[in-house]
Chains A and B, each alone.
Chain A
């Protein structure tokens, strides 16, 4: 965090000054470790063993927060009898189809009242005979990207719970069995972490949790960049739920994002599969109209606020299509783009290679340097007809056609590349008005300080002008396919310089009443949204940011002039809540767990929830309230259902739906690993996404032969001095001079083993390519004793790229990585791979290709290497 988020780290320092203990778990010793009370180095890619062993420790020592766990999580909920765990299937969950390499998650669901509850064996027939159930319809072939953040719908109001946590079918017992094999010995064997260090972590986290204290888990996005990335975060979530650290001050899981407003660009998404406010993108072939789409979002029988999705969706359509959106035409639902599969960034790169993509917009992204398998990215872009690059500087993704590494090797020839590249300089955040949304979901308005230089313009300006130009071109078109653009509301007021008024856009996002007495008035809460077309709003979770026609995001009341929660600094979605699910900060009866950790509570006299923050709960619903069985929506929430966006109102220790690779985190080795999985026969995530092709060859991993050719673990990361792929730092002399050259970090032991000299050169090799780096020999990388052998890790900051425009350039670490993805969110595994390292500089020109080819031959690498998802062995 000190390394990548030094400004945010000031608050950790402040917490330290007040007595907080900081533990840093990371393969390398970073600037964060330097200030931490304890640094625990572990092997990159082994985290689920570490997390699972903490879970096991909490369960076996009965250190969990029992009252919280019983009341607020799904620990007591029973799972249907068809579920089989990795314990039963040697590393697989039930429902795995080896021929497809995917799971059918139908057997992971809760036991519900239509199942026979007397014995597990009777469940199967009953469950399978259910007809017309949406859960069943969705259980099959359901990529996670087809759902919004609510996951697939559940008919959740009728689950079975055992408050004693003794029923062998309850989540708590499933959890116990699943994690029994995650022991301190395994932590030593797999992660390379000594039992004493592991015990210190367990003790510290447990001692700092409970009624009086809370522990926070903080991660940067590197934690997600694994083939089991989602399950890493799930592992932390299980720990936090068991210890009662969710929905409470000082608790939570805090994701530090890679860019200033990446939270904002998931809320109002740049993701292919989401609409604003985490609504799913319509999916072709699943339904044909708005009603079908809405039904896919939430069953009216499930609990919580997703049941009001119709009001969010219709308000969004009214914001986008205005008067053209009517009840008769489904409010223009047909005019939305519909997806028909995975169109994420890596799939799109593959489609480019296959000439399925003509044009590509790059905005603030430099895939030639920042994405895994840089060579594949560059080769793919060379297939485009046109490429628009909007950036502060002439990044490598805009110049690969003349000075990229493939020009040097002869793999690409400038004369042969037909891609027309348009470079449009972009304004920086100081040169335009707008908001940043940070990790706490807080919007902070930034005012333009200076004019952008030259032709540089804001993104808002670019898209506004592009929209105007397209609409002008299509104005007289009668074609149905042009209806979406023709009907778009596109009337933002602009200043003299052509810049649209950013506040007008934020007002549109906030939403307004369109009819009735309050017509024209801005909405103050998403609860006022209607599904009849009488309200408009561009992103339901942001409703309230412009309440009372005041830009709430621009509030900057100093902390000393308001409560410690500081509700008048910026504005946090939803409804300016600073902590989500904060009903959990009070006990089931509505009293604070302790005076020290009081946050929101039930005021008996006023008969309402109150406290330091905006209560994240129906404000007059008493703690003792119990709904009629079968009631859905907010009314179906019991007074002790704090997780109001979950379909059963509980925090999910076990995820009965919504994930594609299992309801519980299980350890799998990274796709490229020098080691065999020590926990199961199954080596890697059996549901991982692979792209077998000549441009994306894989290093072999056990039990495949040839893994000894790549005996070291490689991990990539960022440095304080640079920003990601360098577009914002390598062109600035003051930053470039602080870290002027690409380097690798190795331990003195590895340096001596491979004759690497500090300050000298090294060549790092994988199946994709070989790159050269200066060598930094440092004790900050520690050889780890793993499974009886010493494992060396090679650290690779990924900020440099090959090109002629930046102040500093160099080989790109991401060129080493293959593309293998987490199936849930399609994120690449870029934090753990295998590699070889040799002293000296790499060959150049075609000799480089021969050098890599020799490695491939020695390791026996083909297109099929590493792509067999189910590991052959004893599995059923």
Chain B
């Protein structure tokens, strides 16, 4: 059965029986302090190599984006707008005598990660079975099975997967790499490294159903507190990826954080495309046959 047509429980759809409840990440960016402990804990636990000493000049973000050797990425976004429209303002600039340049300001931080989509295109296109759906409902790459074909790289609507560059000294060089949801830790009943390291519970790990309930409550609490921009991202099971296993509370439009506003599983249209191709092919054949028939006649 294709992932696209799968029911809401992706693990069951992949053939797991009596497995655990689907696990998820709820990353509440309103609690993120940008400490990057998630990035470091992820690299430590998963032996992900350091990947560059470049200062990007992009606020405090010197990581850039998710990739083969970045499975958690904390974005830093500086904005000239207030956090909330309440009497309490977050800068001391409400005076008429404000200094030049003083203005409302907020600094958004957000730890991004593989979304572990319900409908995962990477998994659909993988020809070797290296990408697999785990019993926890997460999407895992088996590095020793991957042949490095790279089909999954353009298939991901979020640009999460990459082939790791490097020579033989680099672990898993040449094969596709991304967040494993700490599959080994889950199997041992442990919390994923990033969630464990997060000091402020911005990264929350648990049963996806529970996280969704909690996330909805958190959004309304923030709305009540005047943070009108708060919204969830990736929690909607009717979206283009069938809902994400790793979803987010954002404080602005997804594009601000470098996230696609309306992600769609890239293999969604494949059956229709194949049908179209088949019809076109049939029509071509029919035309050719008709032409041949006509010539004969």
Contacts and interface: CB of A to CB of B under 8 A. Distances in A.
A2 B56 CA distance: 22
Interface in B5-57: 31, 33-37, 39-40, 43-44, 50-57
A6 B105 contact: no
Contacts of B106: 34
B95 A2 contact: no
B90 A39 contact: yes
B188 interface: no
Contacts of B185: none
Given A29-B91, A733-B50, A779-B105, 6 more contacts: A34-B33, A34-B106, A738-B63, A740-B54, A741-B53, A783-B99
B181 to A, nearest CB: 20
A548 interface: no
Interface in A180-229: 188, 192-198, 200
Interface in A751-794: 758-759, 774-776, 778-780, 782-785, 790
B255 interface: no
Contacts of B200: 6, 9-10, 13
Q: Which of B40, B199, B200 has the most CB atoms of chain A within a 10 A radius of its CB?
A: B200
B109 A31 contact: yes
A734 B50 contact: yes
A661 to B, nearest CB: 29
B164 to A, nearest CB: 16
Contact of A33 (B36, B37, B90, B98): B90
A31 B34 contact: yes
Contacts of A34: 33-34, 106-109
B68 to A, nearest CB: 14
Given A37-B88, A740-B54, A785 B62 contact: no
Nearest to A786: B99
B268 interface: no
Contact of B90 (A9, A10, A37): A37
Contacts of B89: 38
Contacts, number: 151
B62 A7 contact: no
Given A194-B94, A735-B40, A737-B53, A38 B88 contact: yes
Nearest to A791: B99
A41 B91 contact: yes
B33 A200 contact: no
Contacts of B52: 737
B92 A197 contact: yes
A780 B106 CA distance: 9
Contact of B55 (A10, A197, A733, A741): A741
Nearest to B92: A197
A824 to B, nearest CB: 30
Contacts of B56: 759
17 contacts: A6-B37, A10-B201, A32-B33, A34-B107, A35-B31, A38-B88, A40-B92, A719-B60, A738-B36, A739-B60, A740-B53, A741-B55, A776-B59, A780-B107, A782-B91, A782-B102, A783-B102
Given A720-B35, A734-B43, A759 B53 contact: no
A739 B90 CA distance: 27
Given A194-B92, A780-B78, A774 B99 contact: no
Interface of A: 2, 6-7, 9-10, 13, 21, 29, 31-42, 188, 192-198, 200, 719-721, 733-741, 743, 747-749, 758-759, 774-776, 778-780, 782-785, 790, 807-808
B53 A778 contact: no
Contact of A13 (B31, B63, B95, B97): B31
Nearest to A16: B31
Contacts of B109: 31, 34
A800 to B, nearest CB: 11
B101 interface: yes
A721 B99 contact: no
B100 interface: yes
Nearest to B80: A779
B97 A776 contact: no
B93 interface: yes
A41 B103 CA distance: 12
B177 to A, nearest CB: 16
A194 B93 contact: yes
B76 to A, nearest CB: 9
B27 to A, nearest CB: 15
Given A34-B33, A738-B39, A758-B57, A782 B93 contact: yes
A31 B35 contact: yes
Contact of A808 (B53, B98, B99): B53
The 9 closest A-B pairs by CB, nearest first: A197-B92, A759-B57, A194-B95, A733-B50, A785-B99, A740-B53, A6-B35, A34-B107, A2-B33
Q: Which of B35, B37, B201 has the most CB atoms of chain A within a 10 A radius of its CB?
A: B35
Nearest to B90: A39
Interface string B246-285: 0000000000000000000000000000000000000000
A39 B92 contact: yes
B199 A36 contact: no
A737 B88 CA distance: 37
B36 A196 contact: no
A29 B101 contact: no
A40 to B, nearest CB: 5
A778 B62 CA distance: 15
A6 B63 contact: no
Contact of A778 (B78, B88, B100): B78
A733 B40 CA distance: 10
B49 to A, nearest CB: 8
A452 B37 CA distance: 24
Nearest to B197: A7
B199 A9 contact: yes
Contacts of A32: 33
Given A9-B199, A736-B53, A192 B99 contact: yes
A785 B97 contact: yes
Nearest to A719: B60
Contacts of A807: 53
Contacts of A37: 88, 90
Contacts of A188: 95, 97
Contacts of A33: 90, 107
A580 B9 CA distance: 55
Given A10-B199, A35-B33, A739 B88 contact: no
A21 B39 CA distance: 29
Given A6-B33, A739-B62, A779-B105, A790 B90 contact: no
A839 to B, nearest CB: 15
B92 A41 contact: yes
B74 to A, nearest CB: 9
Given A34-B106, A39-B92, A197-B94, A790 B57 contact: no
A741 B52 CA distance: 12
A719 B71 CA distance: 22
A692 to B, nearest CB: 35
B88 to A, nearest CB: 5
Interface string B162-200: 000000000000000000000000000000000000011
Contacts of B34: 2, 31, 34, 720
B281 to A, nearest CB: 51
A723 to B, nearest CB: 13
Contacts of A782: 91, 93, 99, 101-102
Q: Which of B31, B40, B52, B107 has the most CB atoms of chain A within a 10 A radius of its CB?
A: B107
B201 A13 contact: yes
A739 B57 CA distance: 10
Given A34-B106, A41-B92, A749-B101, A7 B199 contact: yes
Contacts of B63: 737-738
Nearest to B104: A779
B37 to A, nearest CB: 7
Interface in B187-240: 199-201
B57 A737 contact: no
Given A34-B109, A736-B53, A741-B55, A2 B35 contact: yes
A732 B36 CA distance: 14
